Structure 1
């Protein structure tokens, strides 16, 4: 059996992210049912903005997510929000890990944190699902489709998340936010296609408004699949979750069909039939069927919006790199994708204009 630890890589806790392990063990004895030491602690080596740790005992294994130490932006790294949405969704029988408790007392390990179950399974990093036999890939895609449709069908009021975000006008607020961030970062420069998107997007928002829980980063590598079956055991990484428009969330997920491997792990240019992967049209139809829609009017807009949002994030990385506030190798690679992505985003907008 493989698990998420093996896929993401785990190692010794980084020196700057160490904490009082004895205090943590004491907290777990009080708050985690069935906990019994000794406790062994390792750190996931991926690029999580909230440091993530594997906690191992002779009888079980857990995951801890914490705020990073030091000065951080107000509202950033909100592990309390992650804990809240995971706990609420678990109560609705949605596939998320069981959470044991949230600690808001910084005297325990120095920052807020929460502890949840370690879910054993496998993480699929490549949307081509190369490690899965081609005859089974369509079932994995159908399971992802069913999972995001199920998320958007959860009654957020019934599980206590009415105030988890603002309802209504999601696109107006998001476009304004990312436009402002792009325009204010003078050092990172301006881009012709991005400027056109800043003008075009707010004037072309499709009619109709909906609100649901949105994940914000729904990708195959943010799920843990059963070790041998096309079944999602847990959806991870809820840092960007909020209340928002479900079609924005779905289009972000479906954007894998439009992105080439040169920008992000995507399926553009692939022979989907040969790979055993459903077409984009089939995937959209399956989501519509599950959510009671006949179609998604404005789908091209939603794709363009998500590419714009992604481009704004890359623009911010470019700015941090130029200021010397980002790790050079990875930041440089991401920043180099900004202009190709803005060109692709504007091409999506042009397609939307022709529809």
Structure 2
């Protein structure tokens, strides 16, 4: 269910108002309740009370198995980031003790570039170029946060060593779906082998977003600054350079929806200038991101064979997987040098 399809009348406004009173928030009637459009699996609703706007985030009415736990983790992450320089939605208050879990955050003033560019961004190539650098800068800011603000969050020990076996196991699990003939992915074995042979020897644990790409960024309406990194449901403590690899793996090619972005090499150099992390194995992180994302997307292809996803979507994502593994091969061949 997307948030744009939620029936806002299903939200008990009286109960919400009582809870908000208990949080010491300004009182009065709740007004202006409206769904926030978007493809998120959770519900987002905008509302106002006492002249203050909020975004309410909660699971869909028919919650998925992990919906409440995902929101519980998100709320914890946003609370930890509230007093940092990381551009993230500002958490106002969260109800995590019982289900459904929900939280209130301040609205973000900004736009998602995957939905189109406003002025002045659409007509100013310097702003568009700078948007790419600001995406790297925001990620470097996240990588500087002490992971101790999220005690017990994730399992950083052995994090990199687990990645290849973890995702090969995920790929094997697709064989349980009826009709799926198995992965037809060129370069799969040699990519897994290359990743295993070139595994970085050490890394410095940090907070990872887990799905860092342009569609999960909102930019300021008046310039190139990242207003907020959104959708924190994949956040963990691991190696933040995998986020940079993810950004490189998903970096728009052929100008995409934001023409004139900096080249990957410039992105890496900008991040490196803002970070103390060892960048000598950045090609490994880019290949790892292609490998993981390709396997994740292949899951929808497998589900399409079993009639659990639309065939056209499955075919499209399989083509994307093939492109990611081709990109991985380019990275292995030194495309980032």
TM-score > 0.5 by shorter chain:
yes
- TM-score (structure 2 length as normaliser): 0.84
Asked whether 1:339 is paired with 2:322, we answer: yes
Sort the Cα spacing of 1:124 and 1:138 in 2 relative to 1 into closer, same or farther, 3 A.
same
Could you tell me which residue of structure 1 aligns to residue 160 of structure 2? 171
Output the CA distance in 2 between the equivalents of 1:240 and 1:302: 17
Output the CA distance in 2 between the equivalents of 1:127 and 1:351: 32
Output the CA distance in 2 between the equivalents of 1:296 and 1:164: 25
Asked whether 1:190 is paired with 2:183, we answer: yes
- TM-score (structure 1 length as normaliser): 0.80
Whether contact under 8 Å (1:68, 1:77) holds in the other structure is no
Could you tell me which residue of structure 2 aligns to residue 52 of structure 1? 44
Structure 1's unaligned 5+ residue stretches are: 1-8, 258-265
Asked whether 1:161 is paired with 2:150, we answer: yes
Could you tell me which residue of structure 1 aligns to residue 304 of structure 2? 321
Could you tell me which residue of structure 2 aligns to residue 311 of structure 1? 294
Please give the secondary structure, in 1, of the residue aligned with 2:147: coil
Which residue of the other structure, out of 201, 207, 212, is the alignment partner of 2:201? 207
Where do residues 101-250 of structure 1 align in structure 2 (5 Å cutoff)?
A: 101-104=93-96, 106=98, 111-125=100-114, 131=122, 133-157=124-148, 160-186=149-175, 187=177, 188=180, 189-191=182-184, 192-250=186-244
Whether contact under 8 Å (2:26, 2:49) holds in the other structure is no
C-alpha distance after superposition, 1:94-127 (max 9, x if no partner): 3222212222355xxx621111111222222279
Structure 2's unaligned 5+ residue stretches are: none
Please give the secondary structure, in 1, of the residue aligned with 2:218: strand
Output the CA distance in 1 between the equivalents of 2:48 and 2:313: 31
Output the CA distance in 1 between the equivalents of 2:307 and 2:23: 41
Could you tell me which residue of structure 1 aligns to residue 86 of structure 2? 94
Sort the Cα spacing of 1:175 and 1:49 in 2 relative to 1 into closer, same or farther, 3 A.
farther
Output the CA distance in 2 between the equivalents of 1:111 and 1:282: 44
Please give the secondary structure, in 2, of the residue aligned with 1:61: strand
C-alpha distance after superposition, 1:174-232 (max 9, x if no partner): 22221111012114412343233334322321222221111112223322222212222
Asked whether 1:301 is paired with 2:284, we answer: yes
Deviation at residue 90 of structure 1 after TM alignment: 0.8
Sort the Cα spacing of 1:35 and 1:283 in 2 relative to 1 into closer, same or farther, 3 A.
farther
Where do residues 77-92 of structure 1 align in structure 2 (5 Å cutoff)?
A: 78-92=70-84
Could you tell me which residue of structure 1 aligns to residue 268 of structure 2? 284
Whether contact under 8 Å (1:168, 1:209) holds in the other structure is no
Output the CA distance in 1 between the equivalents of 2:169 and 2:82: 36
Whether contact under 8 Å (2:6, 2:43) holds in the other structure is no
Deviation at residue 248 of structure 1 after TM alignment: 1.0
Paired residues, number: 328
